Amino acid sequence: MIGPLFTEDEVRNDLQWRCAEAGGSAAWARARGLTPGYVREVLIGTRKIGPEVMAALGYERVIGYRAKEALT
């Protein structure tokens, strides 16, 4: 069974919360081998959430399809 799906904003909010818990985005980034600038850009939305950040957060990007109308 597939787990819940999250929006990009929800993942970004999770990143923001985890950065705060770590003492800031720079501390969170360095602890995971990421550059602080990259993480800051993800937080403010000037960069997409890349696979490195998603992996550090425990997320994966999935692509799905659904019918426009419910099938009967």
User: What proportion of the chain, given as a percentage, has pLDDT over 90?
Assistant: 78
Q: Residue 10 to residues 16, 17, 25, 49: CA-CA distances in angstroms? A: 10, 11, 17, 11
Burial class, 41, CB count within 10 angstroms (exposed 0-12 / middle 13-18 / buried 19+): middle
What tens digit of pLDDT does each residue of 24-48 get? 999 999 999 999 999 999 999 999 9
Q: pTM of the full predicted structure? A: 0.84
- 50 conformational bin, left if phi > 0, alpha if psi -120 to 50, beta if neither: beta
Q: What is the pLDDT of residue 65?
A: 81
Res. 21: pLDDT tops 80: yes
